Amino acid sequence: MPNDEIRPFYQQAHLLVVSSRHEAGPLVMVEAAACGLPSSGTFTTGHAVDWHPEAAWAVPGGDPQVLAEAILTLLHNPPLRAAIGRAAQRWAQTHDSPWTAQEFEKLYTSE
C-alpha cells in the first residue's frame, strides 16, 4: 500500500486485530499506533505483550473465543478503545526513528 494511503486506511478502522501465533514486533501495529488506531492481539505477539494493557489489548493465544470476546469488548467500549489508541500513538511518537537509532547506537557502543 502506498505511504500516502496508509493513514486514511487506518483512520477508517475501529480496531486492528493481530491474531498471529507469534510475531516479534509487527510493523502493522506500529503503523496503526502512529495513526491512533488501537490494537488487540495475543500474548504471543511482541507489541501486544509489551503495550498491554495501556497501549494495546492482549489475550492468551490459541483461543479464538477469548480473542473474539476481547474484540467485542473494545468495539463496544469506545472510551477504552480511544484511550488505548491515544496511548499507542504516544508510544509511536516517542519511539520514532531518531529514538530507535539512538538506542541502536547505545547497544553498539556499550561495553
Q: What is the secondary structure of 47-80 as a DSSP string?
A: HHHHHTTTT-EEE-TT-HHHHHHHHHHHHT-HHH
Q: Show the cell assigned to 94.
A: 516517542
Give the model confidence (pLDDT) of 43-99 as tens digits: 998 899 999 999 999 999 999 999 999 999 999 999 999 999 999 999 999 998 898
The 3-state DSSP class for residue 87 equals: helix
Residue whose C-alpha is closest to residue 39's, from 15, 73, 70, 7: 15
- pLDDT band at 39, cuts 50/70/90? very high
Instruction: Give φ, ψ of 108 to 5 degrees.
Output: -75, -25
Tell me what percent of the chain is helix, strand and coil, each rounded to the nearest 5: 60, 10, 30
Domains of the chain: 3-109 (3.40.50.2000)
